[in-house]
């Protein structure tokens, strides 16, 4: 077989980050991480995690092998190693007219590297693939091995503009079973848009400096802000979010923005203080949206408490972080809303 560096753009289209010309698969550049470290050192680290980054390519190889070197070994108690550190490969299925899962990397949790066969076919026809990168770990290098005589070339999205999502651990992918089940990755496949995922576990506090960094991302179609689960546990969202929006609009004055309230947590059944806080921030986000609408701005409010039907506690791993079922429900809610908002 012949090995190809995933960063070779002659063969692979890489999406989900503007900083892939640097070493690794990071969501913020080295300079951006250095700048934000003094404000929020956890974001500086989490920006090295490859959540939402993916590769699109076409090949007639009967076999596809993924070889990766990670920054660390799997180490999460409530998230599968396949989601934290693994990758999954999707192939376009002409019968269902959609991308279908082909295979996922089953890695050795005692190692920080793997080389895994993600399935093979009996014929060498051209097929379109999407490879989703790990959600909660940094990746040093990735190689794709294909048949010696196979052809391979990069694929792309039909839409050139990108959708940017800024949020919490839920946005980053905690705690789905594999990367393809992250709701922004699901939406990317459904809507055929590149998504820039800026989910930062436990660290989404809507600082002005984050607004500046993501505000400089080009070709932005839409910004989604879903930070209440972090910034809304105290007064930070009330204090920071208006300043965040002002800063972002310096760079992207015409980009529509969706403000999303948090999903329901198990503690909403019995912790009245948290329920009151959630209700306060629900009203705060509605009021903030209305304020911008009165100024003629395209600002939308999306009620995250409506994402899960029936017994909402059954959609999470730990009462907070969605399972695959929960992530799928979030994707469906966003999909319905985005199809109304996007032209």
Domain that holds residue 134: 2-154
pLDDT score recorded for residue 120? 86
d(CA 234, CA 190): 35
Longest Cα separation, the chain: 64
222 and 252 part of one domain: yes
302 SS3 class: strand
pLDDT in tens, 109-134: 999 999 999 988 999 999 999 999 99
The domain boundary, picked from 101, 135, 154, lies at 154
Other Cβ atoms within 10 Å of 2 Cβ, number: 12
202 and 330 part of one domain: yes
CA Rg, the chain, in Å? Answer: 20
73 and 173 part of one domain: no
The domain boundary, picked from 121, 154, 187, lies at 154
51 and 112 part of one domain: yes
d(CA 68, CA 62): 20
pTM of the model: 0.97
pLDDT score recorded for residue 162? 98
128 and 48 part of one domain: yes
145 and 199 part of one domain: no
pLDDT score recorded for residue 343? 73
307 and 224 part of one domain: yes
pLDDT in tens, 305-334: 999 988 999 999 999 999 999 999 999 999
247 SS3 class: helix
pLDDT score recorded for residue 290? 98
Which residues are within 8 A (CB) of 300 and not within 5 positions of it... i.e. 6 or more apart? 256, 257, 258, 259, 289, 337, 341
CATH at residue 35: 2.60.120.260
DSSP letter string, 16-74: S-S-TTSSS--SS-HHHHHHHHTT-HHHHHHTTS-TT-EEEEEE--SEEEEEEEESS--
The domain boundary, picked from 110, 126, 154, lies at 154
Other Cβ atoms within 10 Å of 218 Cβ, number: 9
Tell me how far apart the terminal alpha carbons of the chain are, to the nearest angstrom.
44
230 and 292 part of one domain: yes
Other Cβ atoms within 10 Å of 327 Cβ, number: 26
What are the CA-CA distances from residue 10 to residues 5, 22, 143, 291, 294 (Å)?
Answer: 10, 17, 14, 47, 48
Average pLDDT, the chain: 97
d(CA 140, CA 69): 5
Please, are residues 1 and 63 in contact by the beta-carbon 8 Å criterion?
Answer: yes
CA nearest neighbour of 165 among 134, 190, 199, 194: 199
CATH at residue 318: 3.40.50.1110
123 and 215 part of one domain: no
251 and 276 part of one domain: yes
The tally of domains found in the chain comes to: 2
pLDDT in tens, 218-276: 999 999 999 999 999 999 999 999 999 999 999 999 999 999 999 999 999 999 999 99
Please, are residues 81 and 111 in contact by the beta-carbon 8 Å criterion?
Answer: no
Q: What are phi and psi of 114, to 5 degrees?
A: -160, 155
pLDDT score recorded for residue 191? 96
211 and 246 part of one domain: yes
Please, are residues 174 and 321 in contact by the beta-carbon 8 Å criterion?
Answer: yes
The angle formed by the CA atoms of residues 34, 37 and 41, to the nearest 5 degrees, is 140
132 and 34 part of one domain: yes
pLDDT band at 91 (very low <50, low <70, confident <90, very high): very high
d(CA 87, CA 283): 39
């Amino acid at each position: 077989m012949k090995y190809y560096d995933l960063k070779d753009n002659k063969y692979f289209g890489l999406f989900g980050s503007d900083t892939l010309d640097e070493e690794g698969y990071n969501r913020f550049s080295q300079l951006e991480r250095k700048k934000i470290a003094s404000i929020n050192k956890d974001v500086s680290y989490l920006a090295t995690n490859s959540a939402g980054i993916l590769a699109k390519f076409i090949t007639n190889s009967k076999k596809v092998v993924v070889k990766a070197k990670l920054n660390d070994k799997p180490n999460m108690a409530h998230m599968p190693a396949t989601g934290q550190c693994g990758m999954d490969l999707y192939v376009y299925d002409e019968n269902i007219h959609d991308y279908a899962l082909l295979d996922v990397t089953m890695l050795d949790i005692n190692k920080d590297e793997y080389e895994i066969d993600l399935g093979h076919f009996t014929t060498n026809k051209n097929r379109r693939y999407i490879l989703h990168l790990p959600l909660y770990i940094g990746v040093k290098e990735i190689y794709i091995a294909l048949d010696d005589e196979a052809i391979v070339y990069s694929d792309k999205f039909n839409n050139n503009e990108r959708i940017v999502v800024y949020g919490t651990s839920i946005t980053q992918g905690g705690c789905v079973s594999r990367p393809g089940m992250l709701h922004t990755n699901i939406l990317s496949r459904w809507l055929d848009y590149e998504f820039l995922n800026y989910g930062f576990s436990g660290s989404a506090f809507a600082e002005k400096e984050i607004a500046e960094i993501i505000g400089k991302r080009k070709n932005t179609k839409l910004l989604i802000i879903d930070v209440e689960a972090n910034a809304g546990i105290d007064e930070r969202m009330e204090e920071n979010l208006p300043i965040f929006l002002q800063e972002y609009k310096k760079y992207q004055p015409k980009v529509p923005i969706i403000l999303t309230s948090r999903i329901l947590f198990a503690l909403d059944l019995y912790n009245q203080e948290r329920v009151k806080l959630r209700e306060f921030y629900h009203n705060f986000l509605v009021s903030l949206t209305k304020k911008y609408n009165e100024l003629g701005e395209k600002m939308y409010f999306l009620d995250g408490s409506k994402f899960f039907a029936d017994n909402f506690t059954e959609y999470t791993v730990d009462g907070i972080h969605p399972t695959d079922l929960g992530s799928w429900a979030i994707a469906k809610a966003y999909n319905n809303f985005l199809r109304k908002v996007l032209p």
